[in-house]
Amino acid sequence: MLQSIRAKRNVALTFKHILPLIEKLESLKCIPNNELENEVLEYGEFVGGKFPHLSFHSQSLIKEVAKSLIPWRKGPFRVNDLSIDSEWNSAIKYGLLEPFLNLEGKIVGDVGCNNGYYMFRMLPQNPKQIVGLDPMPLCKVQFDFMQFFMRDERIAFELLGIEDLPFLGIEFDVLLCLGVLYHRKSPLDSIKIIYNALKNGGEAIFDSIIIPGEEEICLCPKGSYAKMKNVYFIPTLKTFENWLYRCGFKEVTLIATIKTEKIEQRKTPWSTQESLEDFLDSTSKETIEGYPAPQRAYLKVKK
């Protein structure tokens, strides 16, 4: 079953806008192995590293390939003097979550991993294995670009969605599900998938956009939310917590609620399409549709 699902998902890698990117990525194999030696890898705000033996030609090639993969949504990344300033400064979110992660020797999953930024950030905690899931082919190509330099066998990218998680047959110790639930037509079904994929005693961290209020309700946007047409349910914090309890989690801990600011999500030369500033009204208190501006809640749960 898993092989069949993978085959269907991998068709996306043959799309006409993706094939040229894969060909660009293949050109990195022309870089001599000795130019990648004595590297000093980075796992802090910037993920990447310093490669002291890279030739000018190789550095120019790396920059050319990286620019062909625009837009970069998550990051930032760095290879020598090349800095990839992504739309989201994901270091802000990871800095918030890192104190709540205990990954030593554990099997970890990142559902909706984008290009794998959080997976790379988690490596210093020495997990046994990290598996990222994301069905977007550009994310896979960007991950492969960075993995060319990081070369860490503990991490793997699966071109799969959350609905495919059960077919992996892995019992996870820790799962991340960030920026996923409000894109799902049935958020409770998605939470239950995460619950079922965890070992007994396993932990997960969820985030979701929330609306203000103490009521046990949620918003269902008529057409779009912050110009996103694939947003279906945005809960209050209380409703978000209730979802997790209803799906079987015994412990729900609030990590933080934080308003999304332009310092975290913005246009950059590496992601020039519309961003947060285009999704809000002139006061930045509401989306252009008139809904409350994005605020996120981060919850840690235990099975």
Condensed to tens digits (0 to 9), the pLDDT of residues 3-32 reads 999 999 999 999 999 999 999 999 999 999
> pLDDT tens digit string along 158-182?
999 999 999 999 999 999 999 999 9
Mean pLDDT score, 94-115: 98
Which residue, chain included where needed, has tokens 């310093």? 50
pTM of the model: 0.96
How confident is the model at residue 99, as a pLDDT? 98
**Interatomic CA distance for residues 196 and 191, integer angstroms:** 9
Q: CB of 276 within 8 A of CB of 223?
A: no
> pLDDT tens digit string along 138-148?
999 999 999 99
> pLDDT tens digit string along 111-127?
999 999 999 999 999 99
Position 212 confidence tier, pLDDT thresholds 50, 70, 90? very high
The domains of the chain, with CATH numbers, are: 2-302 (3.40.50.150)
Report the DSSP pairing between strands 129-133 and 107-111: parallel
> pLDDT tens digit string along 46-93?
999 999 999 999 999 999 999 999 999 999 999 999 999 999 999 999
Position 44 confidence tier, pLDDT thresholds 50, 70, 90? very high
Give the mean pLDDT of the chain. 97
How confident is the model at residue 273, as a pLDDT? 93
Q: What percent of the chain has pLDDT over 90?
A: 100
How confident is the model at residue 105, as a pLDDT? 98
Position 303 confidence tier, pLDDT thresholds 50, 70, 90? very high
How confident is the model at residue 217, as a pLDDT? 98
Residues 6 or more apart in contact with residue 147 via CB below 8 angstroms: 116, 155, 157
**Interatomic CA distance for residues 59 and 50, integer angstroms:** 11
How confident is the model at residue 76, as a pLDDT? 98
Position 101 confidence tier, pLDDT thresholds 50, 70, 90? very high
Mean pLDDT score, 251-264: 97
**Interatomic CA distance for residues 70 and 177, integer angstroms:** 24
Residues 6 or more apart in contact with residue 167 via CB below 8 angstroms: 1, 2, 5, 160
How confident is the model at residue 172, as a pLDDT? 98
How confident is the model at residue 62, as a pLDDT? 98
